Amino acid sequence: MKVTIGAVVKGGTSLGYKTGNWRDERPVLDMEPCKRCGQCESVCPDSAIHIIDEYYIIDYDFCKGCGLCAYECPADAIEMVQEEK
């Protein structure tokens, strides 16, 4: 890799590094009980939950499976399930 002057890197380029394979457990979100409160999106350290047209989408390319979204969800709408490898 060519090192730029001042080692300058373009912003947002970490999207080229998928952290999804760090995951042992996968959060599975059920939109039925979901109250659309936004807590899961808010607590995700990996910015891996997106709100698209009232729907909460977990980006498995980046989710590391920490379980925080499931633990903090007030509606128990997220379940952590073992990842099959």
Quick check: 57 binds ligand SF4 (CB under 6 A)?
Answer: no
Residues 65/24, Cβ–Cβ less than 8 Å: yes
Query: Which tokens in the block code for residue 63?
Result: 């989710």
**CA distance linking residue 48 with residue 64, whole number of Å:** 9
The item of another protein, ligand SF4, none sharing an interface with residue 83, based on CB under 5 to 8 Å by kind, is none
Binders of ligand SF4: how many residues, by CB under 6 A?
A: 27
Quick check: 20 binds ligand SF4 (CB under 6 A)?
Answer: no
We find the least distance from the C-beta atom of residue 14 to ligand SF4, in angstroms, to be 14
Q: With respect to another protein, which residue has the nearer C-beta, 34 or 40? A: 40
**CA distance linking residue 2 with residue 67, whole number of Å:** 37
